[in-house]
Amino acid sequence: MLKGKKVVLGISGGIAAFKAASICSKLVQKGAAVKVIMTASATKFITPLTLQTISKHPVYVDTFEELDASVVSHIDLADSADLFLVAPATANVIGKLANGIADDMLSTTLLAVTAPVVMAPAMNVHMYEHPAVIENIERLASRGVRFVDPNEGQLACGYVGKGRLAEPEEVVAAIESYFAEEQLLQGKRVLVTAGGTLERIDPVRYITNDSSGKMGFAIAAEARRMGAEVVLVAGNTSAGEVPGGVSLVRTGSAQQMYDEVLQQLPQTDIIIKAAAVADYRPKQTFQQKIKKTGEELVLELERTPDILQALGQRKKNGQFIVGFAAETEQLEQYAMEKLIRKNCDLLVANNVALEGAGFGTDTNIAKIFDRSGLVQELPLMTKQELASRLLRLVASRIQRSGDRS
């Protein structure tokens, strides 16, 4: 998986920097081309010469020490990377990247990189648990940065707790796993729906919900990273930029999303309906703004078309459907009923009343069901990580089905 891959290894200043030599060596042994950036503090723990000898490339420390006059080093390194690994990642470098600070070679290059970024934190247990560090990690994770969690054990400071850099074998395994995932959905066409729908009352008012579309956007981004051709059908969203390489189709109402999804269905392999579609719409849409004429206004509502139900009814052999269910009570019962009634292969259910699992957050808590019951119970995690776990499960189910056929 690593043969021919270009990895930039950033080493920041902590005692765990000595492990970076082993990480670099293992990456090189597996065929990766590794270029190293060290902070000035990192050089107090391990020398650039050590990493240069192992990597067979010059080591970068000073932003202004240009080793090749034909390029700007931090831009050239950023552009060349297939993956950027920071190990160890101190609280300082995590904070810099989270807040857009670029004051040395490592942080400057990190801001310029467009390749995936993986960080392996290492620090004192109290630093790792500090609210500022937790917030910075969550912020980076919401942007797609991946983390190799530190281990628990004896720390250099004498404390025992979580904060010790993951072993080199674990870090390299995480990198291999990341590249392996790039092939999981190769050749598949994935359709993802995201956001809420807008059901017009009049030209200035509408019925909608709190869905931000962040879950659907995260799924679309991860599916694209795993090699799929991805179409994202999005309603009303506040999820930010559209993931790179994803085809976006904007819709407004439930009817518009219904029409678009069914049009896309015949040429789609995997459908993931993460959108929060309105169940009802005004029976009458007024062409002019409704004027205030009394103490009460009564609106008559009617059902919107059920997109997931229509997908389940039209599903052909080989197509895979994942539904979502946002609940506030009796989650397991409602999830199983919905999965069976709408002919889904998997259903992701979350209790939006739980802190960190509601609409508009960067995190989620979910349970994944199939017709046999609960498949996976996922704790609080970023929506990007949940998307990755869901898609790995989908890929394994499709592979298993293909092996049987």
Residues known to be catalytic: 157
- Interatomic CA distance for residues 311 and 43, integer angstroms: 58
Say if residue 308 carries a ligand binding annotation: yes
Strands 270-273 vs 33-38: parallel, antiparallel or unpaired: unpaired
Say if residue 282 carries a ligand binding annotation: no
- Residues in Cβ contact with 347 at an 8 Å cutoff, skipping those fewer than 6 apart: 322, 323, 324, 325, 335, 336, 338, 339, 368, 369, 370
Helical H segments across 249-382, by residue range? 254-264, 307-314, 331-341
Strands 151-154 vs 199-202: parallel, antiparallel or unpaired: unpaired
Say if residue 307 carries a ligand binding annotation: yes
Helix (H, G, I), strand (E, B) or coil at 2: coil
Find tokens 């390029």 and name the residue.
71
Say if residue 289 carries a ligand binding annotation: yes
Say if residue 58 carries a ligand binding annotation: no
Say if residue 305 carries a ligand binding annotation: yes
Q: Which residues of 297-324 are buried (b: 16+ CB within 10 A; e: fewer)?
A: eeeeeeebbbbbeebbeebeeebbbbbb
Q: If residue 366 lies in a helix (H) or strand (E), which one and from where to where?
A: strand 363-370
Helical H segments across 240-367, by residue range? 254-264, 307-314, 331-341
Say if residue 306 carries a ligand binding annotation: yes
Binding residue ranges: 279, 289, 305-308, 324, 338, 342
Binding residue ranges for CTP: 279, 289, 305-308, 324, 338, 342
